[in-house]
């Protein structure tokens, strides 16, 4: 099978008939063999009934319905597991992503050997309250990940099959799939300018809280990707640094007091100095950080995936 189109959705009953008809038209025109994998993320409208009715007309439809709303990441993860195509295309169900982009995305994956092609909605039809935070979010992600994409959160993306079968999307990590792919060893990540269409039906399902959650998820990915298999390098380094800063401050207090005593000058007790308590806190925090790293190492050594590595090719 050439293409799997994975579509997570939540309360999109109005747009579904038009979307699947459009996808099918594009596929027939370019003679692609395909499947359309719909994941109903606990919709409370008639979305599932609409998909069931459309299945009678379009045999290429596969669908999964969640019992409740789990979020876009969970829907994508289930969709990736079900997808069988050589190239996986993801798009939103609200008709803001154009299926006409599919042939070029497919061509770049197949002919230019990209692992991931991420869409870039260069011209957006969103309010300024959404576009400005998005630009800041993308800039921060570029800086921390080293991946030079302009639009990490674009729902229209293309992947080689082995990319989606390797990574795991959870929480709200759907924003960072290119980052997850990079950490998994898929380094050829490209970008393509795509059309952003104004929403035709319904309202957006995302609020401003996604930017706060997105930043926290970015920190999680950065930490796990860099220190997941060697937590002592992170906690231990911070712990040793904090411990020695505390020791240096404590030595300074003691030496200063002894110098004042030797020169018959007035002095304060060590416990009367604020620096003493800062030194004590630094020593305690340093010890705790070191112990946290040590415990994390013990946990990591007993994890079943501690020696799981991604092997691309092998000769026997």
For 12-16, what is the mean pLDDT?
Answer: 93
Cβ(192)–Cβ(97) below 8 Å: no
pLDDT band at 224 (very low <50, low <70, confident <90, very high): low
Whether the predicted pLDDT of 308 surpasses 70: no
Instruction: Tell me the pLDDT tens digit for each residue of 88-143.
Output: 999 999 898 999 999 999 999 999 999 999 999 887 766 666 667 778 878 888 88
Tokens at 296, concatenated:
């994390």
Superfamily of domain 3-227: Spore Coat Polysaccharide Biosynthesis Protein SpsA; Chain A (3.90.550.10)
Tokens at 118, concatenated:
């991420």
Give the pLDDT of residue 307. Answer: 46
For 262-280, what is the mean pLDDT?
Answer: 86
Q: Give the pTM.
A: 0.73
What are the b/e assignments for 49-82, b being 16+ CB within 10 Å?
ebbeebbeeeebbbbbebeebbbbbbbbbbbbee
DSSP 42: S
Give the pLDDT of residue 26. Answer: 96
Smallest CA-to-CA distance from 248 within 237, 238, 256 is with 256
For 32-57, what is the mean pLDDT?
Answer: 94
pLDDT band at 245 (very low <50, low <70, confident <90, very high): very high
For 111, residues 6+ apart whose C-beta sits below 8 A from its C-beta are none
Instruction: Tell me the pLDDT tens digit for each residue of 160-209.
Output: 999 999 998 887 788 889 988 998 889 899 999 998 877 667 666 555 55
User: Which stretch, 3-17, 136-150, 221-235, has highest mean pLDDT?
Assistant: 3-17
Tokens at 111, concatenated:
């002919």
How many residues appear in the chain? 316
Strand spans (E) along the chain: 3-9, 34-40, 61-65, 87-90, 116-120, 157-160, 189-193
């Amino acid at each position: 099978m050439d293409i799997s189109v994975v579509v997570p959705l939540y309360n999109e009953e109005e747009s579904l008939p038009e979307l699947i008809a459009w996808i099918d038209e594009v596929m027939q025109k370019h003679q692609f063999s395909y499947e359309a994998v719909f994941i109903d993320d606990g919709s409370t409208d008639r979305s599932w009934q609409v998909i069931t009715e459309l299945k009678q007309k379009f045999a290429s439809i596969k669908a999964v319905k969640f019992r409740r709303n789990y979020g876009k990441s969970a829907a994508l993860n289930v969709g990736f597991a079900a997808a069988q195509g050589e190239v996986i295309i993801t798009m939103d169900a609200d008709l803001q992503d154009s299926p006409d982009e599919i042939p070029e995305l497919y061509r770049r994956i197949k002919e230019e050997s990209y692992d991931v092609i991420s869409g870039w909605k260069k011209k957006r039809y969103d309010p300024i309250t959404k576009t400005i935070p998005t630009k800041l979010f993308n800039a921060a992600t570029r800086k921390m990940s080293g991946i030079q994409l302009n639009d990490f959160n674009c729902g229209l993306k293309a992947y080689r099959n082995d990319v989606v079968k390797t990574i795991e999307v959870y929480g709200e990590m759907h924003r960072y799939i290119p980052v997850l792919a990079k950490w998994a060893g898929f380094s050829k990540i490209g970008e393509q300018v795509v059309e952003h269409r104004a929403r035709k039906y319904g309202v957006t399902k995302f609020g401003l809280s996604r930017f706060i959650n997105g930043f926290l998820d970015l920190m999680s990915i950065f930490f796990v990707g860099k220190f997941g298999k060697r937590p002592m390098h992170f906690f231990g380094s911070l712990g040793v640094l904090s411990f020695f800063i505390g020791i240096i401050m404590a030595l300074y207090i003691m030496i200063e007091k002894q110098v004042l005593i030797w020169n018959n000058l007035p002095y304060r007790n060590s416990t009367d100095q604020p620096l003493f308590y800062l030194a004590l806190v630094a020593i305690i925090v340093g010890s705790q950080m070191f112990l946290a790293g040590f415990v994390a190492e013990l946990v990591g050594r007993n994890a079943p995936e501690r020696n799981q590595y991604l092997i691309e090719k092998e000769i026997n």
